[in-house]
Amino acid sequence: MLRCVPYPVEYQRVLSQRTSVIPHCTVVRSSDTFGNIVQTGYVADSHDAFMFESVGTIDVSKKRMPEALNPLFKYPTMLTNTDASMLNAIKYIGAPVNGADEWVVRLSEYLHNNFVYESGATSVTTTAAQAFALGKGVCQDYTHVAIAMCRELGIPARYVNGFMIGEGATHAWLEYYDGAVWQAYDPTNNRVVDDTYIKIAHGRDFDDCSINRGRFCGTAQQEIKVSLMVERVRKMSQ
């Protein structure tokens, strides 16, 4: 199961997109519960590697459209529960005074000053509380912690998987609901999400919107490698 096609929304217009799979198999395109585009397939023949490539061009703007709230994004999940230390941190940051926008900025500043980015310190099963106790992690952990703390204060929040301009790997950030519109913020880089980001999928947490997921039969050891390049192809008119 692959999620590698940009999320279909008005501020992301897909101009072209192609997914290639090796070994070749029939790929069926559909959408999941959250509206993410999903491509699924099955390789029946014996193989020792599975590869996929997604290539395309997308027109991204900063515009955000009003959207109804799915109540699922108000509640914690297994990966986004809070604990006593996180509740103490919320008290330290202080209650929202001027709405969700201002509080998310303060939250991001807190994580920027008290959290360390360290690859390999956590895994895809690390919860927000575990990562917070460690005080370190990757973008997934920053996002889970931020989502958990937002929901604790009654601010609906959701996990976003996607790409940033440049070369590297996939990235994660959060979207929070301001009462009418889902706003996007990147707690890992302590900045507002702009048109240099490409949204692929969203969900309650990482488990809902991972880029790839699958199962193989056999005794082989599994190793996953990711290579990503996002570049601006032309300057868009303002």
Question: How high is the pLDDT of residue 238?
Answer: 45
Cα 147–Cα 4–Cα 108 angle in degrees, nearest 5: 25
Domains of the chain: 71-208 (3.10.620.30)
From the CB of residue 142, how many other CB atoms can be counted at a distance below 10 Å? Answer: 26
Question: How high is the pLDDT of residue 11?
Answer: 87
Residues in the chain with pLDDT values less than 70: 235-238
Amino acid (one-letter) located at 108: S
**206-221 burial by CB neighbour count: b if 16+ within 10 A, else e?**
bebbbbeeeeeeeeee
